[in-house]
Structure 1
């Protein structure tokens, strides 16, 4: 059982950064309409600023996507330190029972090649692709023909990291989550995370982990301290140095934070830093020169804009020494941090159509999602959206003025990428944006995703449209139905 410990807290000024600089950073985040879900800044081992955009909270885990890869790198580091494998070992040598049905003209893929995402393929097999494979992911990967000499060409490829997870489980006899429990999670006081598994029972090494913001911060501080934690060297510091150093070229644009070079499942950043990095702007930014860690969870593709604001407003404000107390600026910052919230549209609570459509069943035309019926039940302070499909009945309760939290099975994996839950926590708000258009916001608060669902009522007909915050160009088809006569 992990001890649940917290990082020490301090004021920004005590750790050499002004509260006003952090306030400016938050102002620009808001001005540029960047959807952050949490922010935690650690300086000299102390949390100096932390905030969550309501309805996200400190006690909720957040999907990390490819930020997971860096945890897999650390597991490989432990395994190498313990003599279970080496960088030069070949992938095929760990799975002699798997028949490779093609012959390569190139050398075999080594552990080092998997770590540097240079396995030799022309095309990537990403998390969504893996989810479509019902059989062995390892067998599938080993039977992809190579197009290049391994180790010579960087290709961002989640399936390569998945092979690292399979290797650790093969040599250690434990899945990644259990292998890391006594070595990393327990010493750092990290709550046991949610972590997906493959059909073979391997944790998904390249994606699939969820963690609380502070637990990500502990991981970042562990990296900053080169594996040293509370008087113990948990992992050989040389591994973290190597993993976070330039190992392979990934581009030549010196202004692009995704072309600064790649380590062992870590991205190198501008300004001498490195980071663990996941889709929709999940960041664990480690800044050794500033002795700082910045954690950000988000629901946006605008990662470059977020990093630019870190470089422009947080980095220059970090001083080598403590600053004088600034109670006024600190009070302003604390007010900002305590009142962060996701922006939602201003909607009307009622419409003349309330009584006409409330609790009426709309039978849907044939559609690709097999939605059979929908209905909306309007109450004084909330409404309940009900949808029936071939999986059964699903409900989401929406507040008019406040988010209402619940659990739902109404999750759309075509909109939400690779995660496949059967039930998920949702916070929902709703209201009328016009007499005929009822709009709901469904915020899946352990994920980057908020869906906007609009019901357009026109006489006896309903039109249902659904979009997602992370990509407004991705929509479900318009679903059309007609009111069932009483």
Structure 2
């Protein structure tokens, strides 16, 4: 049960800095990164920030469109990857049940009286991997026609659990934001804290994240699928922590065993986006393995373990059409990182 409503805005405070280095210090060409900056200015008018971390240090940082270091970004669906991390923390603390636990046990007080007969077969693991089988519609670009009906409803949890379960779809990936929101509700049910309060205590405080916001659902739960607002640097901190096996400044924050599962393909996804882990996209880009927290409009946290790099993009989230920086990443940023790696051998 939620004991307190989500606080939308936390006090504005300067976060502890990320370790910083010059591109030349880690073997990267500054002129190549300046070229990326120039391309963004000319071809990506909705871009708001570009950050590159390499070898655990912030190497390059640029802001656009009036945004700066203290600006909060609407992460949209990149929120899902943070919800995943909170699930991993709660599981390691013994607050959440086994991944095989049924949603009917986790959400006992929300289960409809006339529940679908297959609802008991839907597990926590199904929610994490978006393989629940709940009847849903998903467009080619991850559009969700039913999401507006979900958002208009005052009882989000009951709405999600009342969706029919299609037996032949269980275990098969379908992008479904209601699955992600149920993960946030699960955190509330297990801990007595909404996801934002839980994040502030067990994720944001250890990472030194002090300026954030997370919107609540009509029921008072933090939105599990969208609604998180962070600065670009704090997005980068989270990415670096995940890249380093859950460590931040040498101290464990997110369980490494959880991240190994979360960042590993658990279900076959969509060719244009990759396969799916625990609320993370995964795949191979330009020959490099990646994990991606992805949100509408261009809110992206890329992890490249083979290149020891984190790339953060943020952009205007209030757009219907937007330009994905994936090509920019493949043709310029990854090539620069690979050239540095080759020179170091």
Distance 1:223 1:303 in 2: 26
The two structures, once aligned, show a CA RMSD in angstroms of 2.1
Selected match of 2:298 from 281, 288, 305: 281
Distance 2:149 2:209 in 1: 30
Q: Are the aligned partners of 1:121 and 1:155 in contact in 2 as well (CA < 8 Å)?
A: no
Q: Are the aligned partners of 1:213 and 1:297 in contact in 2 as well (CA < 8 Å)?
A: yes
Matched with 1:89 is 101
TM superposition shift of 1:150: 6.0
1:9-408 superposed matches below 5 A: 9-84=20-95, 85-97=97-109, 98-105=111-118, 108-124=121-137, 127-134=147-154, 136-149=155-168, 151-251=170-270, 253=271, 256=272, 258=273, 260-269=274-283, 270=285, 271-299=288-316, 301-304=321-324, 306-318=325-337, 319-320=340-341
Q: 1:193 to 1:129 in 2, by over 3 A?
A: farther
1:459-474 superposed matches below 5 A: none
TM superposition shift of 1:6: 0.7
Q: 1:145 to 1:35 in 2, by over 3 A?
A: same
| Cα distance per residue 1:427-461 (max 9 Å; x no partner) | xxxxxxxxxxxxxxxxxxxxxxxxxxxxxxxxxxx
Q: Are the aligned partners of 1:181 and 1:192 in contact in 2 as well (CA < 8 Å)?
A: no
SS at match of 1:320: helix
Q: Are the aligned partners of 2:242 and 2:254 in contact in 1 as well (CA < 8 Å)?
A: no
Q: Are the aligned partners of 2:280 and 2:293 in contact in 1 as well (CA < 8 Å)?
A: yes
Q: Are the aligned partners of 1:3 and 1:186 in contact in 2 as well (CA < 8 Å)?
A: no
| Cα distance per residue 1:201-245 (max 9 Å; x no partner) | 100010001111101010011111110112212222111111010
The runs of 5 or more residues in structure 1 that have no matched partner are 324-486
Distance 1:106 1:80 in 2: 22
Q: Are the aligned partners of 1:36 and 1:296 in contact in 2 as well (CA < 8 Å)?
A: yes
Q: TM-score, normalised by structure 2?
A: 0.86
**262-271 or 141-150, which deviates more:** 141-150
TM superposition shift of 1:34: 4.5
Q: Are the aligned partners of 2:103 and 2:119 in contact in 1 as well (CA < 8 Å)?
A: no
Distance 2:131 2:79 in 1: 18
Q: Are the aligned partners of 2:37 and 2:62 in contact in 1 as well (CA < 8 Å)?
A: no
| Cα distance per residue 1:258-286 (max 9 Å; x no partner) | 0x201000011422011111010100111
Distance 1:238 1:221 in 2: 16
Name which one, 1 or 2, has greater alpha-carbon Rg. 1
The runs of 5 or more residues in structure 2 that have no matched partner are 1-10, 138-143
Question: As a proportion of its length, which structure holds more strand?
Answer: 1
SS at match of 2:341: coil
Number of aligned residues: 316
TM superposition shift of 1:18: 0.7
Q: Are the aligned partners of 1:75 and 1:176 in contact in 2 as well (CA < 8 Å)?
A: yes
